[in-house]
């Protein structure tokens, strides 16, 4: 594997890790609200969150590119906050990935929260536990499987991301050149050997990460049972 391939792998892993963390933090209150509310706006929000599944990634990326433009709405907002333009930057890729992978994180969390039931939470409340206390001591431990699914799906989906990055990244080595684009470039350049090597590397690393996560989950479940 060439040094540029390894750099691309690291960028991809970093991108997937950051995006997953941000998605878990953002997704938790969102999914919680969706799981509890009877608000009439709930279906609207649910539909909005599922929308990234509909648009082809390159189309989504194209609109992000338009949105990131110096005269665009996102950029003028960021500019007033003193944040540099998002196009062709790692931060831009993170923003794109968060939007792209949103349904993959929110939906498993929402399902997990719905399945909790109200009894234990009400019981804890009568014993004087505050909302935050209830969340960390009851909701979080009981929704562990939901979080695991959300994290794995968010991570894997971002790792394999191609179209969005292709549109907004600009393929800058060490900044926005991710592994999926690098593999595509090898194929385009008819350098199939490098493409195969890198694709195999990506699959192996992803397999090991997923294996580790599922392995830890199994172990901790055994511990709980004992």
27 or 163, CB closer to other proteins?
163
Q: Footprint of other proteins on residues 183-212 (CB under 8 A)?
A: 184-185, 187-190
Whose tokens are 């750099």? That residue is 7
Sole window of 39-47, 106-114, 139-147, 165-173 interacting with other proteins (rule: CB under 8 A): 165-173
> What whole-number distance in Å separates Cα of residue 25 and Cα of residue 44?
21
> What whole-number distance in Å separates Cα of residue 174 and Cα of residue 7?
6
> What whole-number distance in Å separates Cα of residue 40 and Cα of residue 31?
16
Beta carbon of residue 83, minimum distance to other proteins (angstroms, whole number) = 15
Please calculate the CA angle 137-42-54 and round it to the nearest 5 degrees. 105
Beta carbon of residue 42, minimum distance to other proteins (angstroms, whole number) = 35
Q: How far is CA 139 from CA 16, 33, 53, in A?
A: 25, 13, 28
Applying CB under 8 A, among 16, 159, 166, 202 the residue interacting with other proteins is 166
46 or 175, CB closer to other proteins?
175
State the binding string over 76-115 for other proteins (x if CB under 8 A, else -): ---------x-xx---------------------------
Q: How far is CA 42 from CA 24, 80, 111, in A?
A: 20, 32, 14
Integer Rg of the chain from CA:
20
Q: Footprint of other proteins on residues 42-71 (CB under 8 A)?
A: 62, 65-66, 68-71
Contact indicator for 92, 68 with CB cutoff of 8 Å:
yes
How many residues touch other proteins under the rule CB under 8 A: the total is 22
159 or 181, CB closer to other proteins?
181
71 or 226, CB closer to other proteins?
71
Phi, psi of 164 (to 5 degrees): -65, -45
71 or 126, CB closer to other proteins?
71
Contact indicator for 98, 203 with CB cutoff of 8 Å:
no
Which parts of this chain interact with other proteins (CB under 8 A)? 62, 65-66, 68-72, 85, 87-88, 166-167, 170-172, 184-185, 187-190
């Amino acid at each position: 594997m060439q040094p540029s391939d390894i750099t691309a792998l690291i960028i991809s892993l970093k991108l997937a890790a950051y995006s997953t963390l941000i998605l878990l933090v953002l997704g938790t209150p969102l999914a919680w609200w969706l799981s509890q509310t009877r608000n009439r706006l709930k279906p609207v929000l649910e539909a909005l969150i599922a929308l990234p599944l509909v648009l082809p990634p390159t189309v989504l990326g194209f609109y992000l590119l338009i949105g990131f433009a110096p005269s665009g709405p996102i950029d003028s907002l960021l500019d007033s906050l003193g944040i540099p333009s998002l196009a062709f930057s790692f931060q831009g890729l993170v923003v794109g990935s968060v939007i792209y992978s949103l349904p993959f994180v929110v939906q498993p969390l929402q399902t997990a929260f719905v399945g909790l039931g109200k009894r234990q939470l009400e019981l804890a409340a009568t014993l004087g536990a505050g909302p935050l206390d209830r969340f960390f001591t009851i909701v979080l431990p009981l929704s562990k499987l939901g979080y695991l699914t959300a994290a794995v799906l968010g991570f894997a989906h971002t790792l394999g991301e191609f179209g969005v990055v292709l549109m907004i990244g600009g393929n800058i080595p060490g900044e926005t050149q991710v592994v999926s684009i690098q593999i595509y470039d090898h194929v385009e350049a008819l350098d199939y050997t490098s493409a195969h090597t890198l694709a195999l590397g990506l699959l192996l690393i992803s397999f090991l990460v997923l294996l580790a996560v599922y392995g830890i989950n199994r172990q901790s479940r055994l511990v709980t049972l004992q």
